[in-house]
Structure formats: C-alpha cells, structure tokens
Amino acid sequence: MQSLQNQNLYLPTGLQTQQDISFENGLIKEIKLNSNQSNTENTYLIPGFIDLQIYGAAGKLFSAEPNLDSIRTIEDQLLQEGTTGFLICLATNTPDVFNQCISVIKEYRKDARNCMGLHLEGPFINPEKRGAHVKEYIRKASLDEIKQLLDFGDGTIKMMTLAPELQDDEVIQYLLDQNVVVSLGHSSATFEQATAAYDKGIPTTTHLFNAMSALQHRAPGIPAAVFNHPTAMASIIADGLHVDFEVVKIAAKMLRERLFLITDAVTECNSGPYQHHAVNGKFVMPDGTLSGSAMTMLQSVKNCVEHCGISLLDAINMATFNPAKLIKKENEIGQLAVNTQANLVRINEKLELQQVFFRGAEIKLN
C-alpha cells in the first residue's frame, strides 16, 4: 500500500489539512488525520480533472486521424495535464467518420486508461446555431438511425449534444433510456422549449451561452431556462474568449454545483472538414470562425479563480466532482474518498501542476 503523509486535501466539502492518504490496487483505501506533525508545505492534492468535451491534443484531432495512435497520444498528453478522465468529442460529420471513430474506441476500450468513451456533438443540431459545425452534415435524427448508431456503438457513446426543438420526443427518450447523457446544445430553443426538454429528462447543456438562443429581456432563451430549472446542469468554456469572464462569474453564482468546466479543446489540424488554426491564443476555422479552445483543465480552474471571483474549492469541483455527478460516476472518480480511483493532482499556491497520479501510479511529467 502506498501512502502520502501529511497532505492538504481538497474534498468536495472543503480543504482538509494534515491528512494521510493511502491507496492500493488503483483505489484510495484510507484517509485519516495525521496528528503528529504540522503541515508547512504549500501544495494541495485535488482529484484528477474530468473533461467531458475535448476533440484532441498534442497535434492529434481524433476525427481527422481516427486510429489507435491518435487516442493513445491524446491520453498521454491529457495525463500530463492532470486530466484523468475524458470523453473524446466528435463534431457534426459524415456517418463514415463517426463509424471509423466508434470502431477505434470499441477496439481500444480494453486498453483505455483515461478515455471514458465518446461525446457526439451533433449531427442532430440546429443549423441556425451551428457555430463551426459543417452545415451539410446536420440532419434530423430518426429513431431507427439512433437505434443503429447506439447498437454499433456498443456502449462507447456516453454523451450526445442535440437540439431538442428539432428532434422527436421518442428519439430523445430512447437515448435517455439507453443511459446516454443527452445535452441541449447548438440550439435555437425558446425558454419554454428548453424548460420542457429539461423537464422531460435532458440533464445538461453544452457550452453555456455559445451556439444557443440568447438571454434577452423579452426572450429569455436557453440560459434563463438553465438558470431557473431546479436540476439542469451546464458546461462552460472559461477561457475568456468563448464566454467573457464576467458572464462566467454570473453563471457560477446562478448555477453553483450545477455548472461544470469543459475545455472544448482542439489542436492544430490542416486536413478534413475541421481545419483548426492557432491565432493569437485561440483556434479558428479557415474562414475565421472561432472553433474550440486552446486551454487545459488546470488553466480553466485558474481562470475561474483569478478572473471570475470563484473560490478555489468551487473551481476544483467544477472540474472534477460536478462532471462526475452528471455522468453518475461520483462514487468512482471526481473526488478524494475511500474506494474511489486514486487519481490525484498536486498543485501549488500559484495553481501550477506539480504531480499527477493515475489509479495510484505516478505519471512521469515531461
């Protein structure tokens, strides 16, 4: 059994100092007070980050290079950044590309480490709010298509972003019945339509404020529906470019534990329909449309603390415990607790990455 002595631990409820944490066989076995010595080290152990929407890393955009080498490279890079759980995301694309990507994840899952499955962002979205998505690939879903897609996915499709105002209720209900996390996004839904979708069981919202009906004083739109709903959650991209930091601050005050961070990160890509180019700290499409972010999860947390007035505890929960709750894995990942995976990240007072453990094994940082 491995043990880290006299640590400062961030639990979902707050900071606990002078703690000994022990882990064995990839799981946390014990957390107890160390009463013998005071802790003068200014570092903190927090859970490994969980990113439910990321497209690629380290020069590998998964949809452009759907192969085993790509997903291994992405996993390696994200472990280096402290992301110990993620869903690899696919933007609206052709059925052939979706099938290729699904096939790779199915083949790889027996060897997967921090990749937990797929998030399909489209193609069943609203073309009015497509953002950087390719219009020609957007379509309405049929129940037969969804059944075939999930059958082929064989449990690898964990999350799907869609526009509920354009989809039949039977399609949405089937996805929910199959335990797919349905997320309202790339949508022109009215306040009433979005509220109805949440009431019917859609649990969350994709990148709040981006590619959706706006919050206006006579047309409250999707953001107001999320704010006013008792259970609906939302992800947000906290890079200051996709959403102004002042608006992130408002969202955090309104949603509290219902808000979680995603990077929506892409990587440089010069082939296929999604060619992302880095320009002044952001990624854009060839026509200049803002695409995914150039951010890590730790940078997201740091932005929340330094620019949005969000406490470190809340920012950590937004990157760990809150997304784990959404996917119903909070008893496995997303918090430092007995019998959860020993996925730990050490940060210092400047919120710099110091150390990463994945399932109890230390990751050698480059």
Q: Determine the Cα–Cα distance for residues 289 and 278; give it in Å rounded to an integer.
A: 12
Q: Determine the Cα–Cα distance for residues 39 and 58; give it in Å rounded to an integer.
A: 37
> Is residue 37 predicted with pLDDT exceeding 80?
no
CB 90 within 8 A of CB 123: no
Closest CA to 319 of 294, 340, 301: 301
pLDDT of 40 reads 65
Q: Where are the domains of the chain?
A: 2-46+335-362, 48-326
Q: Which residue has the tokens 């696919």?
A: 90
> Is residue 111 predicted with pLDDT exceeding 90?
yes
Per-residue pLDDT of 67-88, as tens digits, reads 999 999 999 999 999 999 999 9
Output the six-digit token pair for 143.
């129940």
> Is residue 38 predicted with pLDDT exceeding 80?
no
Residue 39 confidence class, pLDDT cut points 50, 70, 90: low
Q: Determine the Cα–Cα distance for residues 276 and 188; give it in Å rounded to an integer.
A: 25
Q: Which residue has the tokens 């022990």?
A: 22
pLDDT of 41 reads 75
Q: What is the mean pLDDT of residues 348-353?
A: 97
Q: What is the mean pLDDT of residues 229-237?
A: 98
For 48-326, CATH gives 3.20.20.140
CA 187, distance to chain mean position in Å, is 19
Q: Determine the Cα–Cα distance for residues 187 and 193; give it in Å rounded to an integer.
A: 10
Q: Determine the Cα–Cα distance for residues 270 and 61; give it in Å rounded to an integer.
A: 10
CB 239 within 8 A of CB 303: yes
Q: Mind telling me the catalytic residues? A: 264
For 2-46+335-362, CATH gives 2.30.40.10
Closest CA to 2 of 31, 20, 19, 22: 22
By CB atoms closer than 10 A (0-12, 13-18, 19+), residue 4 is middle
